[in-house]
Amino acid sequence: MKNLPFLLLILLWINSCQTKQPKLFVDGLDAYPNLKKVLQDSSKYQVQILYTQIDRNEHVNPMMTTFQFNLDDERYFYPASTVKLPIAILALEWLEEQGIEGLTLETSMLTDSVRPSQFPALVDSSAESGLPSIGHYIKKILLVSDNDAFNRLYELLGQDYINQKLKEKGLSHTLINHRLSMPMSPEENRQFNPIRFVDKSGVIIHELPARSTKIIYSNAEQPKIGKAYFSGDSLVNESLDFTFKNKFSISDLDGVVKRIVFPQAFLGIERFELNEEHRNFILKYMSMLPRESRFPSYPQSEYPDSYSKFYKFGTAKGPIPAQFRIYNKTGWAYGHLIDGSYFVDFDNGVEFFVTAVIYTNENETLNDDTYETEEIGLPFFAELGEYLYQMELKRKKQIPADLNGIKFDY
């Protein structure tokens, strides 16, 4: 009889092991036909998924359990605008490293040009001051994925700083080597504009000369995508070469989102070195909807809530309910759709990470504007988000999440 409690524990353990647990990305997919279709033909759609459950310990610190589907960090895909997230964060790290009095997020940043391929940026009509700044560029990146804003911060930091910093932080499947939506040669992308930071009186606080790098940052595997592509109006019947294109793996994108949300979960050398004000600035604008911003201001007719929020709401036309916040960065180009997110439901205490990529290019032709984004891509993300959200609603947690630290005034 003395052993009865122990025996009961053994029996309970055996019973729990025999209880059928739902198989992730297998069970319950009938309610999500697009998600099921993509997962069953994952090689065609080149889908990769990372999903992380979050539990809290007695100190309310996060304990993360990650599940993967078809993950392959060696398989190249074009990361599109997702590379803007680490650039935005590194711009703040660079700012803190300068330690110059008066040099802040709001300090006017004037970009000059010294080469025919470069363009100056001396005004910004979307800013309240009418002048560009690091902070305003970051807002535009995180709110609507503005390409010019990314290019200006790329020109500020340069390829050496960007790639060395990311490598130091353990992001080993990332390479950033070009501006976006600007047809420049690899050589021109290794040239960086001169920049001046000036105070409200026009006095120069800090100045950077024109710079360049001699290091050639390229993809050693020389990846190629598709069977044909358009160059202007001409069809080229061969794969498009991505040797001198950006690279950002699913694991690294997922890692960047986690580093900004839960820096305490990483070793010091792996973290982004940001003070709390700058970290909160990133989190606020990662989660803000375009309609909630005043400077810059975006019309809701052109930028609906789902504009850059793919999970659960990717196909929605109306507003996202206030109980939800998605701290994320998306990308969308060459048939690839990518989203790295920290998904939160404040009302129900739900929180989880999910990062995924899908390739929707049935005819394997690039630059023809014929991709199955609306038919396959966005429904995949909407259903994947709903599938995981419903799973999280049913998941029992011993210690509820404390989400007060990521609530902001929008």
Alpha carbon distance 99, 97 (integer Å): 6
Alpha carbon distance 231, 253 (integer Å): 30
What per-residue confidence (pLDDT) applies to 10? 39
Sign of torsion over alpha carbons 171, 174, 179, 184? positive
Dump pLDDT digits (tens) for 269-322.
Answer: 999 999 999 999 999 999 999 999 999 999 999 999 999 999 999 999 999 999
Alpha carbon distance 201, 219 (integer Å): 45
Dump pLDDT digits (tens) for 106-150.
Answer: 999 999 999 999 999 999 999 999 999 999 999 999 999 999 999
Length of the chain: 410
What per-residue confidence (pLDDT) applies to 22? 56
Q: Please tell me whether the peptide bond between 22 and the residue prior to it is cis, using omega within 30 degrees of 0.
A: no
H/E stretch holding 217: none
CATH classification for the domain delimited by 24-406, as one of 3.40.605.10, 3.40.710.10, 3.40.50.300, 2.170.190.11: 3.40.710.10
Confidence of residue 8 (pLDDT cuts 50, 70, 90): very low
What integer is the mean pLDDT of 177-189?
Answer: 97
Dump pLDDT digits (tens) for 216-244.
Answer: 999 999 999 999 999 999 999 999 999 99
Inform me whether the pLDDT recorded for 71 exceeds 90: yes
Confidence of residue 16 (pLDDT cuts 50, 70, 90): very low
Closest by Cα among 300, 296, 298, 285 to 130: 296
Phi/psi of residue 11, nearest 5 degrees: -65, -40
H/E stretch holding 258: helix 250-261
Confidence of residue 3 (pLDDT cuts 50, 70, 90): very low
What per-residue confidence (pLDDT) applies to 23? 87
